[in-house]
Chains A and B, each alone.
Chain A
C-alpha cells in the first residue's frame, strides 16, 4: 500500500514521547481543555452510538513479513491482507484428542506452563489437571478454548520435525506462560502484544 503523504504543517501538532512527555505536557493538556465543544455532543453521540470503528487506519505500511506461523509474523501481517491460504502444518485439538501421545498422558498443564488457566466464569483450574483432560474440556470449562489450543500447539511443537511445524516447544511454552502470568504475550521482535483470545486465534491459525 502506498503511504499517503499528508502535510502536517500549518496545523498545531501535539507530539508526545515517553522522554518528552513533560516538555509537551502543557500544550497537550491545554489542547485537551479545548474540546470540540460546539460539536462535542454530536460527535460523542455519533462515536458511541454508531457502528463506526473506534480507530480507522487510513494508511499503513506494507507487512514486514509473510510468515504467519510465528508470533512476529502474525502480528506484523495482521493489519495488512492476511493470506488465508497459508498453512503452518499444525494439527488441531480434535486430532490430538483422538491421537494423544502416551508419553504425555500424566503431564499436568500447570507443570508444563507454570500456571493454570480459567473456566468460563473466571475460576482457576485445578492445578492437577492434565494436558489430556484439557483437550476434553467443554467450552464453559476453558475460557476462549485457550487451554485446548495451548495444548494442541504444544504437541504440534513437540512433533515439529515430523509435521514441519515452525514453532519450537520453548516458544509455545513461553507464549502460554506469559499469558497465564501477565495476561498478554509480548513479542520481543516487534514489541506488540496479544491477549489470550488473540493467542488462541494465532494458535488456531497454525493448523491445517
Chain B
C-alpha cells in the first residue's frame, strides 16, 4: 500500500479572508465557511502549491512556521487532512 499524496480537489473554489490574524475560508463548491488555525492555513496553502504526502506536509509546515516536528503538529496535520478530505477540499492525487 503506497503513501497517499494529497492535493487540492479538482475544481475547488476557495476564498480566503483574514481579520487580525484569524483566517476564514469560504468553500464555494459546498457553500461552507470554515475558520482555520494557523497550522491549517499554512498546510493548506502548501498543498495548493504542490501536492504532498502527510509526512512531507508535516515537515514543510514545520519549516514554514519555524516550529518543531512533534506529536501535536503531527496530530494537527492528521486531523487537517482528514477534515479537508471529508469537506471535499482536497483529494488523493497521482504522485
Contacts and interface: CB of A to CB of B under 8 A. Distances in A.
Contacts of B55: none
A186 B92 contact: yes
Interface string B52-80: 00000000000001010000110010011
A175 interface: no
A39 B22 CA distance: 10
B80 A54 contact: yes
Interface in A13-54: 13-19, 21, 28, 31-32, 36, 39-40, 42-44, 46-49, 52-54
Given A18-B11, A44-B67, A180-B1, A6 B91 contact: no
Contacts, number: 148
Given A18-B8, A28-B48, A47-B39, A182 B76 contact: no
- Tell me the dominant secondary structure on chain B's binding face: mixed
A56 B91 contact: no
Given A13-B16, A14-B16, A186-B91, A61 B40 contact: no
Contact of B32 (A59, A75, A182): A59
Interface stretch (A128-136, A155-163, A189-197): A189-197
Interface in A58-74: 58-61
B1 A183 contact: yes
A41 to B, nearest CB: 9
Interface string B19-63: 111001010001111111111100001001000000000000000
Contacts of B65: 44, 48
Nearest to B75: A54
Q: How large, as a class, is the contact surface on chain B? A: 35 or more
B38 A43 contact: yes
B21 A75 contact: no
Given A6-B26, A57-B32, A57-B33, A183 B83 contact: no
A16 B48 contact: yes
Given A8-B26, A17-B12, A59-B32, A47 B37 contact: yes
Contacts of B36: 54-56
A95 interface: no
11 contacts: A11-B19, A17-B13, A31-B16, A44-B39, A44-B67, A47-B37, A48-B72, A54-B40, A54-B79, A56-B36, A184-B92
